[in-house]
Chains A and B, each alone.
Chain A
Amino acid sequence: MVGAGIAGIQASLDLAESGYYVYLVEKQPAIGGTMPALDKTFPTNDCSMCILSPKLVECGRHLNIETITNAEVIDVQGEPGSFKVKINKKARYVDPEKCTGCGSCAEECPVKVDDSFNQGLNKRKAIYKLYAQAYPNAYAIDATKCLKIKKPKACGKCLEVCQANAIDHNMKDEIVEVEVGSVILCPGFEKFDASQLFYYGYGKLPNVVTSLEFERILSASGPFGGHLQRPSDGKEPKKIAWIQCVGSRNCRMDHGYCSSVCCMYAIKEAVIAKEHCSYPLDTAIFFMDMRTYGKDFEKYYERAKQEHGVRFIRSRIFEVTEADDGSGNLRLRYANEDGSISHEEFDLVVLSLGLEPASDMAELANKLGLELNKFNFCQPAELTGVGTNKPGIFVAGAFSGPKDIPETVMQASAAAADSAANLAEARGTLTKVKEYPAEKDVAGEIIRTGVFVCHCGINIGSVVNVPEVVEYAKTLPGVVYAAEKLYACSQDSAGQIKEAIAKHNLNRIVVASCSPRTHEPMFQETLKEAGLNPNLFEMANIRDQCSWVHMHEPEKATAKAKDLVKMAVYKASLLEPINPVKLDMNHDVLVIGGGIAGMTSAVNMSKQGYKVYLVEKAENLGGIANRIRFGMQGEDVQQFVSGLIAQVNSDEKIKVYTGVEITDVQGFVGNFETTLNNGEVIKHGVTIIATGAEEYKPNEYLYGQDERVMTLLELENVIAQGEKITDAKNIVFIQCVGSRDDERPYCSRICCTKSIKQALKIKEVNPDANIFILYRDIRTYGFFEEMYREARNKGVIFIRYNVDNKPVVTAGQGGLKVTVTDHVLGTPVEINADLVGLAAAIVAPGETNSKLSKFYKVPLNQEGFFLEAHMKLRPVDFGTDGVFMCGLAHGPKNIEENIAQAKAAVGRACTILAKETISVEGKCAFVDKRKCAGCGECESVCPAKAVRVDEKEKVAVVNEALCKGCGACASSCRCGAINVKGCTNQQLMAMINAL
């Protein structure tokens, strides 16, 4: 995995969970990529770090992911199945194995440098951790800035304070070679250098900032602690402007592509900025086309306009200058749509930077013979979603073209699936499993708690009186042993803890040190190695939530530490062993829907070695793609579809059912039983829903009344046949027919590009035809922008209409007449049209989807498309385990994207299928039948659909395979009959009572 941003992390996790060993190579000293630097994420406004950090932690401690930071891949040789990868591990000067991340070194370091993570808005030290929650949680030294590295006799203050002996200024770069079966390139993107565009004043005017700088300004962990202020003078801005397309859609800069994400992030930044202010903040976004084409984006845009009052100004900016009154304010001079010139003054200007391909990849690509497109992005090979021209080498994320997080995650899972498909035979051969001694039975034993209180060097010990806490711990009920540790997490401490467990016959362990979020698994390992169940362990967080936050109140901090230890000891005395739950699993796959997405999933699944049942409701395979002729990049779609159908039909592992529907579904992940209307019952372990979508049947613009008015799919056929277009003089396309309105408040995403594609096809056959595209915003995102330019160059006329003044189509003598108000002239234009193409919306198959939604207990959104588990990071998953989706069932998208998503669904499903059995951690809900009244409250609140009331016994039953242990059931149960293992009412009450 080349690059450890969200794509690399996701693909690594998918592969590692699917039975492969992963080398994750990252050039920064920590994994995470761009996402940790973002404040919030659209369209859910989730905190970026909050949703990412569980993945960082999971990835970081995965037994089968070897994270290599501060490193670069310098060469790849070989062929699929056996590549040799050369990696340059740069000297970090800090041993991440020894470093505890305590930060004492940085406090002492005298050298201040610009904090690159905070976009240079503040300073950090020459020895630094990339960001607060970084994994590995270890420091690194900036060799270009460190005094001692430059002059060995100078400084060395960090060495003096590091009690873990982790620092070594003499480290050297090291070249290592690893053997791998496939390579996934996901190095991410770089930001456009805005100082290249002098007229925006970036670099000269301090209150012109980039969008990434603004993310850091908004972030609570940013340079201003989340306080919205200007960099120049700390003033709270009253008016902020965003300038779109900075370094995008710009041919002069060789950036002719659309960066795809900037419209949404600018809206998000404007909305979040408003939320930050107690005063009314004026926000204005200066844009050309508003490209909110993704799932739920259009609604976000509308809400920003209607509810938040963000101003949207369609314009071209001429320049940004500083006001001459010394206020530091900025003056924007811009042209409106009608050509008039306006000025407006702002306190702060944010430049919405475009995305550029990772610059250092060009060299590697060259070495590998990897083809990049003209912008140096590694655009996926046609209709592969993630393939490159080199077999065995895949691409994911923004390096394949500008894209947002969900699409990056989708591609990552897809790349995981594609690379695993080639290596299916090797699955499980290189993964590591750890062996432990037999577990001691502690049932019925008297509680014997051991408490270990950590100094964390001086991090805890300098504030909290550790010996006093140890003495206090000894007085607590059940505690038979208490000791202090310099670093509880060090190797020798682990040995001492094991020794103490044996010597004092301890059966409950409490460690008072740092955060259980980062260290609990490590201490639990120690328990397992000592033969204790890992859940007989409890932590008291006396560093992150005590000594670090009460540094100037040592007495009160000590008192708090005692309380925290007391709470932990009380809870520990009630802890019981929890054992993982194992259930049998069926390893077959059911794919619902035989369109491109469904067939792609089926073929890929079969390559992974799993048996697939492919169910299609229509008589033939192919789905809506049967009606598509021209791929967006000129692919022959019909040839592709028939090839895919042939492949599916000839695959022995794929059993195809056509003309068949689903009538009933029972079971859960690993154990589904789906009944078809032919009476057959399919037993399968996972389900992939790929039910596709339909074209909206318009009832506007004379559709259905005049045969010269047709939808794009109908027009596609007409163009392919050629006759009607060879002598057509005027052809009109009308965009957003049935999309972006009150009934369907979403963008259908592909229609702008499709219309332009068709316009260009017509121009090929009939260059003299006048083609008019009547649009609201042209949404040719990514590299499709090139097509938009080509169309304009070839004379296709684009007329923007206002949604309040839609075009009118009338039929009269002499043909069809389309009347539209021209956006520049402001006057109505009449076009005599020979053909009118309606860009009809993509709509969800309502009945099919709502039926499946009930069968598989998975939700739909308001528009009838399936709703994923998380819009950002789980784009093909559902809250219900073992059910995945892909293709148009998820929302409008083009064929290439459908293919990527189909493979992504496979990648995710394989993480389940790769296991012999279904094994869950066991921190599940459990029911006391004696107390349960069977009222069903738990059943209705369970988000994972893991509880139901048994009809015969009238008591709730938990399906441990599905339970996520959130405890919503336990907190809504009036009778106290349902509880969560490891977090029972009794345990929590014990903690409360301890105070």
Chain B
Amino acid sequence: MEFEPKIIAFLCNWCSYAGADLAGISRIQYPPNIRVVRIPCTGRMNPLFIISALRHGADGVLTSG
């Protein structure tokens, strides 16, 4: 079976999360192996979240804001 990375995304509520919504509204198709965590601001992004996500088995972490 082909490798399917598991990606956790931390998205700022005000821009990137809205962008992900827009992708939906525009019906832009993308692979379903991403799980989104909404945060109030990328300022909330404790580096420990990234490390912990990787430690818990994520293959990639996307932080966008």
Q: Are chains A and B touching directly in their complex (CB below 8 angstroms)?
A: yes
> Which of A's residues lie within 8 Å of B, judged by CB?
47, 49-50, 53-54, 103, 132-133, 220-221, 225, 515-518, 541, 543-546, 548-553, 556-557, 559-560, 563-564, 567, 923, 941, 943, 965-968, 970-972, 980, 983, 985, 988-989, 991-993, 995
Q: CB-CB < 8 A to A549: which residues of B? A: 23-24, 27-30, 32
Q: CB-CB < 8 A to B24: which residues of A? A: 515, 543-546, 548-549
Check B52 against A47 for contact (C-beta < 8 Å). Answer: no
Check B43 against A968 for contact (C-beta < 8 Å). Answer: yes
Bound-complex Cα distance A553 to B31 (A): 9
Bound-complex Cα distance A967 to B15 (A): 16
Check A567 against B44 for contact (C-beta < 8 Å). Answer: no
Known contacts A991-B37, A992-B37; A132 and B17 CB within 8 A of each other: no
Check A992 against B21 for contact (C-beta < 8 Å). Answer: no
**Residue in A closest to B28 when the chains form the complex, CB atoms:** A549
Bound-complex Cα distance A50 to B20 (A): 12
Q: Pick the contact of A221 from B22, B29, B53 — CB < 8 Å?
A: B22
Check B40 against A980 for contact (C-beta < 8 Å). Answer: yes
Known contacts A553-B32, A992-B8, A993-B56; A544 and B40 CB within 8 A of each other: no
Check A563 against B29 for contact (C-beta < 8 Å). Answer: no
**Residue in B closest to A101 when the chains form the complex, CB atoms:** B25
**Residue in A closest to B53 when the chains form the complex, CB atoms:** A992
Q: CB-CB < 8 A to A970: which residues of B? A: 44, 46
Known contacts A552-B29, A995-B58; A50 and B15 CB within 8 A of each other: yes
> Which of B's residues lie within 8 Å of A, judged by CB?
6, 8, 13-15, 17-33, 35-41, 43-49, 52-53, 56-58
Check A50 against B18 for contact (C-beta < 8 Å). Answer: yes
Q: Pick the contact of B39 from A515, A548, A988 — CB < 8 Å?
A: A988
Bound-complex Cα distance A968 to B45 (A): 7
Bound-complex Cα distance A103 to B36 (A): 24
Check B43 against A992 for contact (C-beta < 8 Å). Answer: no
Check A968 against B8 for contact (C-beta < 8 Å). Answer: no
* Cross-chain pairs A/B with CB under 8 angstroms, 8 sampled: A49-B22, A132-B25, A549-B23, A941-B43, A980-B40, A983-B40, A988-B39, A992-B58
Check B36 against A988 for contact (C-beta < 8 Å). Answer: no
Known contacts A517-B17, A564-B35, A992-B53; A980 and B25 CB within 8 A of each other: no
Q: CB-CB < 8 A to B47: which residues of A? A: 971
What is the CB-to-nearest-CB distance from B24 to chain A, in angstroms, rounded to a whole number? Answer: 3
Known contacts A545-B24, A966-B44, A967-B44; A551 and B8 CB within 8 A of each other: no
What is the CB-to-nearest-CB distance from A421 to chain B, in angstroms, rounded to a whole number? Answer: 33
Known contacts A541-B36, A567-B35, A967-B39; A517 and B21 CB within 8 A of each other: yes
Bound-complex Cα distance A989 to B13 (A): 18
What is the CB-to-nearest-CB distance from B53 to chain A, in angstroms, rounded to a whole number? Answer: 5
Q: CB-CB < 8 A to A564: which residues of B? A: 35-36
Q: CB-CB < 8 A to A225: which residues of B? A: 26, 28
Bound-complex Cα distance A966 to B14 (A): 11
Extra contacts, 10 of them, besides A549-B32, A980-B44 (Cβ < 8 A), are A54-B14, A517-B21, A548-B25, A549-B28, A551-B29, A989-B52, A992-B37, A992-B53, A992-B58, A993-B56
What is the CB-to-nearest-CB distance from A130 to chain B, in angstroms, rounded to a whole number? Answer: 12
Check A132 against B22 for contact (C-beta < 8 Å). Answer: yes
Bound-complex Cα distance A517 to B25 (A): 13
**Residue in B closest to A554 when the chains form the complex, CB atoms:** B32
Bound-complex Cα distance A948 to B49 (A): 25
Bound-complex Cα distance A564 to B38 (A): 11
Bound-complex Cα distance A941 to B43 (A): 9
Check B20 against A563 for contact (C-beta < 8 Å). Answer: no
What is the CB-to-nearest-CB distance from A89 to chain B, in angstroms, rounded to a whole number? Answer: 26
What is the CB-to-nearest-CB distance from A137 to chain B, in angstroms, rounded to a whole number? Answer: 9
Check B44 against A971 for contact (C-beta < 8 Å). Answer: yes
Bound-complex Cα distance A749 to B17 (A): 39
Check A517 against B29 for contact (C-beta < 8 Å). Answer: no
Q: Pick the contact of B41 from A133, A543, A546, A967 — CB < 8 Å?
A: A967
Check A551 against B26 for contact (C-beta < 8 Å). Answer: no
Q: CB-CB < 8 A to A220: which residues of B? A: 22
Check A133 against B25 for contact (C-beta < 8 Å). Answer: yes
Bound-complex Cα distance A330 to B6 (A): 48
Residue among A516, A518, A557, A995 with most chain B CB within 10 A: A995
Q: CB-CB < 8 A to B46: which residues of A? A: 970-972, 985, 988
Check A560 against B25 for contact (C-beta < 8 Å). Answer: no
Check B36 against A992 for contact (C-beta < 8 Å). Answer: no
Check B43 against A967 for contact (C-beta < 8 Å). Answer: yes
Known contacts A47-B15, A992-B8; A545 and B20 CB within 8 A of each other: yes
Check A550 against B29 for contact (C-beta < 8 Å). Answer: yes
Q: CB-CB < 8 A to B32: which residues of A? A: 546, 549-550, 553, 556-557, 559-560
7 nearest A-B pairs in the assembled complex, by CB-CB distance: A967-B44, A544-B24, A968-B43, A971-B46, A966-B41, A548-B24, A556-B32
Bound-complex Cα distance A50 to B18 (A): 8
Check B29 against A992 for contact (C-beta < 8 Å). Answer: no
Bound-complex Cα distance A164 to B59 (A): 41
Q: Pick the contact of A516 from B38, B45, B52 — CB < 8 Å?
A: B38
**Residue in B closest to A538 when the chains form the complex, CB atoms:** B38
Q: CB-CB < 8 A to A47: which residues of B? A: 15
What is the CB-to-nearest-CB distance from B47 to chain A, in angstroms, rounded to a whole number? Answer: 7
Bound-complex Cα distance A47 to B12 (A): 14
**Residue in A closest to B4 when the chains form the complex, CB atoms:** A556
What is the CB-to-nearest-CB distance from A299 to chain B, in angstroms, rounded to a whole number? Answer: 24
Q: Pick the contact of A545 from B14, B36, B40, B45 — CB < 8 Å?
A: B36
Q: CB-CB < 8 A to B20: which residues of A? A: 544-545
Check B41 against A995 for contact (C-beta < 8 Å). Answer: no
**Residue in B closest to A46 when the chains form the complex, CB atoms:** B15
**Residue in A closest to B27 when the chains form the complex, CB atoms:** A548
Q: CB-CB < 8 A to A923: which residues of B? A: 40
Bound-complex Cα distance A221 to B27 (A): 11
Bound-complex Cα distance A594 to B3 (A): 69
Check A971 against B43 for contact (C-beta < 8 Å). Answer: yes
What is the CB-to-nearest-CB distance from A35 to chain B, in angstroms, rounded to a whole number? Answer: 15
**Residue in A closest to B58 when the chains form the complex, CB atoms:** A995
**Residue in A closest to B43 when the chains form the complex, CB atoms:** A968
Q: CB-CB < 8 A to A553: which residues of B? A: 32
Q: CB-CB < 8 A to A967: which residues of B? A: 39-41, 43-44
Bound-complex Cα distance A970 to B40 (A): 12
Check A983 against B39 for contact (C-beta < 8 Å). Answer: yes
**Residue in A closest to B57 when the chains form the complex, CB atoms:** A995
Q: Pick the contact of B8 from A132, A544, A995 — CB < 8 Å?
A: A995
What is the CB-to-nearest-CB distance from B25 to chain A, in angstroms, rounded to a whole number? Answer: 4
Q: CB-CB < 8 A to B39: which residues of A? A: 967, 983, 988
Q: CB-CB < 8 A to A516: which residues of B? A: 38
Bound-complex Cα distance A516 to B57 (A): 27
Known contacts A967-B44, A971-B47; A567 and B13 CB within 8 A of each other: no
Residue among A518, A559, A941, A966 with most chain B CB within 10 A: A966
**Residue in A closest to B41 when the chains form the complex, CB atoms:** A966
Check A988 against B49 for contact (C-beta < 8 Å). Answer: yes
Check A515 against B35 for contact (C-beta < 8 Å). Answer: no
Q: CB-CB < 8 A to B36: which residues of A? A: 541, 545, 564
Known contacts A544-B25, A548-B25; A133 and B18 CB within 8 A of each other: yes
Bound-complex Cα distance A515 to B21 (A): 7
Bound-complex Cα distance A628 to B64 (A): 50
Q: CB-CB < 8 A to A995: which residues of B? A: 6, 8, 35, 53, 56-58
**Residue in A closest to B14 when the chains form the complex, CB atoms:** A54
Known contacts A557-B32, A988-B49, A992-B37; A50 and B14 CB within 8 A of each other: yes
Q: CB-CB < 8 A to B49: which residues of A? A: 971, 988-989, 992
Bound-complex Cα distance A985 to B51 (A): 13
Q: Pick the contact of B44 from A541, A552, A563, A983 — CB < 8 Å?
A: A983
Bound-complex Cα distance A983 to B21 (A): 20
What is the CB-to-nearest-CB distance from A679 to chain B, in angstroms, rounded to a whole number? Answer: 41
Q: CB-CB < 8 A to A941: which residues of B? A: 43
Check B52 against A992 for contact (C-beta < 8 Å). Answer: yes
Bound-complex Cα distance A546 to B20 (A): 10
Bound-complex Cα distance A965 to B43 (A): 10
**Residue in B closest to A133 when the chains form the complex, CB atoms:** B22
What is the CB-to-nearest-CB distance from B20 to chain A, in angstroms, rounded to a whole number? Answer: 5
